Structure 1
Amino acid sequence: MRLRTEVLMNIREYVVGVDGSVPARAAIRWAISNARERGATVTLVHVADDEWGAVGTRLIGEADAGGRELLDRELGGALPTAAGDVPIVAELRTGSPMVLLASYSRPDSMLVVGTHKTGFHYGRAFGSRSLQLVNLATGPVAIIPETESRLRHGVVVGVDDTPAGGAAVDLAADLACDHHCELVAVRSSTATHRFDPDRDDELRDWQVRRDDDARRLLVEAVARARARQPGITIRSRVIRRPPGTALNEVARAAELLIIGDSRRDKPQQGGLGSVAYDVLLNVSSPTIVVHAPETEPSSREASAAHETQGESHVAR
């Protein structure tokens, strides 16, 4: 099998979940700006929650009418930002909001949602809808906080040895090139299960090995990013903090943080990893979560599949 690595340049649509909130409007502005750079379209989606069904059809009708008014208002506010050079449409849906938004997820579309979270409040956002969306999606998802982003600078990427981590490095390199900014590659040298030695020298040796392993992964990630975008400036950092904490701390003033979703080797619903979970639980900057690249058959596999299909067709 071989992997597709063209993450950024394949994005043809930005799908924004809108609910009339300040973070949702920040998400709309972010999507329009990025769609302009990519020559992509923007779709605003408002989902009238079908839990209204428990209280009767009359209130469902009122919710739909309110949703149409909200969409008209948000579309009217977005059109001046689009300035006629970004195609933008609005759609009203009824159902479970995050489930329906996730149904728009494809490798060539990016889901975009706003969040009120702008700092470190560990454990207070359990059940966050953005976490639910990322868990359900199989394409990239952008989580945009309401804080002003014009003063932010630089792209930060979390480094690991997974397919999703490689896709994150590719995307981060492309974005750093497009935005003419520095790329910072970050790797935590803290283990999930801490080593508990009998002597201090054993603990020092253990940490040195962890640091060396982190540096090795960073060297590989920097080489990958530089091969993809030779002109960008790249820094790397090993941090002795838990991965989610380290990434949010470094990215606090960054314009973007890019992370892979999990250690799985292909896009999969319900596969959010612990590091991505921790980052999104305490998001500090605009954050894009990417999944492992889709696989496509090698020429030999494709030929075998074609032959199998042909035999099956003849048999029928």
Structure 2
Amino acid sequence: MEIRRYIVGVDGSVPARAAIRWALAGARERGVGVTLVYVADDEWGAVGSLLIDEVDQDAQKRLADEVDYARSLRPEAPIHGEVRFGSPMAELASFSDAGTMVVVGTHKTGFHYGRAFGSRSLQLANLATGPVAIIPEAASRMRRGVIVGVDDTPAGAAAVELAADLACDHHCELMTVRSSESHSPFDVDHDDERRDWQLRRDDEARGFLASAVALARKRQPGIVIRSRVVRRPAGAALNELARSAELLVIGDSRRAKAQLGSLGAVAYDVLLNLSSPTIVVHAAPTEAESGAEQPETEGESHVIG
């Protein structure tokens, strides 16, 4: 997966600043540009033209402040800004494609695991067609390594390839993870039978991991790769392992093909209980899907160079 640009949703908050810093670092590694996008909610359209003008001026000022902040970090980088009006996550998703990394910050973390906070990042991940990065405001520089969740979908394969590229870029280890957790069949009553069933599930998981490792090595032959089978729910295990990692990469869905708005249970669990910078990867569209006419966005836009 070749990332050709970074789009960052900004609003002047601390998490948005964390997203800017993360995107600038990634863009520097790839030699690509960064566009900061401030979305003024279109609900303002119901309050009259005078207030709309005031909102526009405020949005332009806030965006200019964020562009200035980004340029203070990387004066030499190609950094641009754009104001849009509409639903914030829908407008950000309208930038999304296979070569665009859409980045947002979040103050939500999984320190209270199991208490569903709800997250606008879920909405963005559902609407996007390309990779989405969600960056916690307190991402530690002490983190090390890239973790990828492994499944047998096209999105899962795309996640492994991107994770291998990122491990190479960051000069760090890649860990592939697969859960063997599953309910025993109804006809398994005895402990020995349950143990045999679990061992078969473990072997099946190792097979998936072997395929993922082969794919990652083909993509990036020089990286160090470890594999791990876990017997816990995949979302919980990935978030726990990712607490000390610099990045977690997951596929968007357990479905067999790309489908808008089809985040699977694992992706929902990970995003609701986020513990690290996380990228959600979508399946590449088929030729028929990529040739289809894309819907136009309703929001207006203004660009800052």
1:87 is aligned to 2:72: no
- Alignment match of 2:116 (pick from 124, 127, 130): 124
Residue 50 (structure 2) aligns with: 58
Contact 1:118/1:146 (8 A) holds in 2: no
By how many angstroms is 1:107 displaced?
A: 1.0
Residue 29 (structure 1) aligns with: 21
**Residues 1:182 and 1:190: Cα distance change in structure 2 (over 3 Å):** same
Bigger Rg over Cα: 1
By how many angstroms is 1:120 displaced?
A: 3.8
CA–CA separation in structure 2 for the residues paired with 1:45 and 1:226: 36
**Structure 1: 5+ residue runs without aligned partners?**
1-6, 298-316
Aligned length: 287
Comparing 230-239 with 46-55, greater Cα deviation is found at: 46-55
CA–CA separation in structure 2 for the residues paired with 1:194 and 1:117: 34
- Alignment match of 1:253 (pick from 244, 252, 277): 244
1:210 is aligned to 2:201: yes
1:70 is aligned to 2:62: yes
CA–CA separation in structure 2 for the residues paired with 1:114 and 1:151: 19
1:65-214 paired onto structure 2 within 5 Å: 65-84=57-76, 86-121=77-112, 122-126=114-118, 128-191=119-182, 193=183, 195=185, 197-214=188-205
Residue 225 (structure 2) aligns with: 234
By how many angstroms is 1:200 displaced?
A: 1.8
Moved over 6 A (4+): none
**Percent identity of the aligned residues?**
68
Contact 2:184/2:197 (8 A) holds in 1: no
CA–CA separation in structure 1 for the residues paired with 2:137 and 2:279: 15
CA–CA separation in structure 1 for the residues paired with 2:29 and 2:287: 28
1:12-27 paired onto structure 2 within 5 Å: 12-27=4-19
Give me the CA root mean square deviation.
1.7
Output the TM-score relative to the length of structure 2: 0.90
CA–CA separation in structure 2 for the residues paired with 1:47 and 1:101: 8
By how many angstroms is 1:37 displaced?
A: 0.8
Deviations 1:90-120 (A, max 9, x none): 1011111111111000111110000111224
Deviations 1:117-171 (A, max 9, x none): 1224324322x11000000000110011111331110000001111111111111
1:43 is aligned to 2:57: no
**Structure 2: 5+ residue runs without aligned partners?**
289-305
Contact 1:118/1:283 (8 A) holds in 2: yes
Amino acid at match of 2:3: I
Deviations 1:196-244 (A, max 9, x none): 5422222212211111111111111112111221111111111111010
User: Alignment partner of 1:253: what SS?
Assistant: coil
